[in-house]
Structure 1
């Protein structure tokens, strides 16, 4: 599926050819181009020609990139990396074909300004540009879902007049007709809006398809692009009452919030990282991060960098201060990397692979560091203490903390009994003096690091898993979430049970305190998030619009926002004052 779009261009060297090769060819250009054109569709031969001779290389490259057929996620990532590394190739791509069921093509489509023909395999119609860009018409096309139709829009960032006629989804629900006005009308509207005193717009689209896209540009992004400088001056958001929920195309594997509360980052099995504006609850950036799933994320303390753990066995370091840019790759794990964490002082990064092997890295130079005297494996996610002094290790038969400053290992007394005794989750208290570990037999152990003696033993949920543990901001309380559908609140010093929060109808995956300590949020397999009052254990709100089990829930550092991530890829951010507006204890 490789050809030259415009035969006229083959009569003389293209600008791309001229910019790469300035010397006179040994053969006439017509001979060179004809020979290469005859190989169109034979990728192996075109690659061989590109590597054989410098005079054959430019034309071969041009033919290879003009019409591209994607067969796998790996090929998609390779193409994305290639056009990012060589931006002059981005306008070369004219035709792109892929299988929607197997490949999630975003954000690739939005960076190909020359794209004219996109084929969605396994969708009944081939979508093509019937007129020359910037005019685009789509007729009699059937899409699997409305969301897929809306994703298509981002493939054409330069159109001025876009008309859709007789579109339908596989459910046979007509999507109606949609017409975007030409640019002169947009300019007039832009000038009018700039004179309006308000500086915030809520976008709604009555009737027809819902104009909001999962994993790609939204209408607020499109309006910002079309209405300049209005889009730069105003803050805009979609009307979520009529929008599909934004997020990933596959299951969520991580949700983290930067320490300054500016950013939320999510990762997924779709190989994509999405960076969200934490306060505007909209997508800021998204990019392909790894060949395969992205299993974990960690922000640097200053919020300018993001670490990602990938199925390809690497940890990638991204600079997110501007457009996302990979600045380092941490290699050395023999298996898929499933966890990563950054110390609060920014000096260290720890990562763990599927073989439970832990590696330590310099957080500034990204070079590997030795773990002399420490266990090299752990069954729980690598965890730094808040003061960055300790790194927790827990194997099946041993538990301890490694002092990253003195490089000494402190073994913690541990006696495991019974058949089920694997560590599942762990947390340090805010003062870094205690560490709690939850197990798959319902036990919670709390160690005092000052004496490393017998731990405080809590029998929480025999014999069910303890899914999560977390200390309150002051360190006096410890909460635990379990498969028995409850959240329990304990006195962290005595081990006494303070509250048992009941109401979920399925296992509770995670729970956390708000930064002020007055609230607890919990996420469950019953597809809900609940917000509780810590003091009396009352349930203040139940959020039931997730559509699948909820994997993650977290407050922003200032406590004003609550974010949740769902197994189906949905990510939601809400203002706490909108969730519990009648609670007098909430602080704006």
Structure 2
């Protein structure tokens, strides 16, 4: 069992707050998700999340034009500089103030931040002459505004930048001290100036204010005070003062205030987002409205446009929604939204390619593991969805909800095709599915019985009685479908034989409340998590305790802001609420309402690895010690609601219902607590996922290492491998290629082996290279054109080593899944081609038969005609043959015609 899992991706959350950034090629989009940053590849449909974390939620991000440095700043002004290509953190820095905007200059030499009333310009970190890395060196501080600066925009040549502020003015600054006379104030708006832009020639500046006004500024001559007197002196005419003046005023005339805006200078395209969810596209300087669309009823918090001007990115903080819109074709490139509320349950599909999550908002979402995108959302449930579970084949998904129904979903057509209900209205909080997919069972805290339904008929088959308290959790084994384990508040665990409708053994007495149970895949053991912080392993057949793990000492329990006691003395979350077995049953991963995910080795009862869920200080329970400076006799200063001090009216208003906190991501009077509600191992054994407060965390084994030598020797080189291959020692060459782990070398040896020798090579292949060989073939066959050649390899490998593979299933799960997908796809293609050829063959044979039938008919008609002629000739000319008669008849006709012609000539 591998234990070197690392954080790889964050699903379920696509946008929280802050700004969106496109890469210079316009193909990738960066989005802040809580205290992390996610990257979405819009062309290849992939995504990843940087593994570094901020102490608080990210407020602003910026990427230099070269695409090498990413700078992200949290709400307190703490910045992290990251190498965007290698995803390595380079430097930490504190700006010591909230940052409202952050922009790299187009040439990449500087970046400007808007912090408070000032604009700070810093030199971009680079390598100096002595090859020393110089992190943050400040170039200059620009002042002049008397209220907070909202945005900074650079000119195309990186010489100037224009800032906008809450003081209803914009200011132009020069980066060079020799051009300090350029500094100028642009005043005239009646509300906050949200954003300002230079056009392509830098001769026009556009400013957009919050009240919906767009001003166009041009550098023109200042009008003379004495308009009647005209100067005749040419020198005086040349020396006329120049200044930026308003040359045009336009108004959006919207029902709501402007929230954000962006401008694409090459195409003169202006995109504006409003508080009511509407966004508009205008063409400047004519101010022609191109399009007007809406994201919903909540405000558009940020907008950005890629370098080509084709794709627009919108983010809505309250909805947690992220859109990428192609305005020319009026279609969505990306449309993603996370859950409104906390996730209750998750499960992997049997092939490990999808993760399904259920939430308190009543929705079920299906996420693609590779791309990180939501494929489909089911919203038929009318209350919180408490559990989801796949059938063994992965074509059917089951869900249980507090609305009193258990539903079955078709994962091919994405529809609800069965709804199961009990004889009375009860709220289901646990669910288990028979591996065959024929039986589904559910438990509730309303009754003490377990409901059993038939999937085929949707009929309630039976109810299992015996528990003396509400049912808390259910679990089936993956291989033995008849064994069901149930736990109840009566501190007992019962093992049921479903098809025998009896208990397999005596009830297992537990000394504490059972919080979670999980059955080993082979249904031989069951793991139980209890309220006292212990994990106990029981034998299913004999009801004997095999192992006991004390998890209290391994749990990281943080301190809440309202706690009057330290984290060390807290017993709030010193237990696990969710468990999951690994594929081989040798390891166990556990988590709960705390900040830790623990992985245990069952046989030795030791902790293999501990994962910290989040470092976000804005969540309760992430810090073991609170800052004593923030603590007072009345409690923590962080608990004080300061929204009434905001300058904007919409920020001061609190529209949330008092006491209602579910389904409202914008709540301000409750701090969410860090917790993991569900955890599950991937069937490929290479990853596991955890549903947490921050989203769906995916931890996987890093398989991106290119050079991973195995049993390497000094005599093993690529040249030696190729020499061995030329000597036709195929097995030795294959083993040497695997030891070097060079893919091109393995590929060359693989395709050089003659077909007649494949069986000999596979028979003698050491088992230590078997998984590597299957993994290599699984990757190769997707793009390879040699179908039969690959099938011969697979057939001989399975035939030669089938027993070993069957005995070590967990080691080959990932490679066999890849080959299984290839075979299923190949079978589907072969069947499709076979059907097509069958139809074509039947069509052609039908055509041939029809043509033969037509020819036979023609021939029969001709033969009949010939018979009739023969009969007539026999009657007229009995002595002469038919040929002679015909000749005689024709000569007579010719002679008659000759006589007629002679008469005419006469």
User: TM-score, with normalisation over the residues of structure 2?
Assistant: 0.34
Name the structure with the higher helix share: 2
The structure number with the bigger radius of gyration is 2
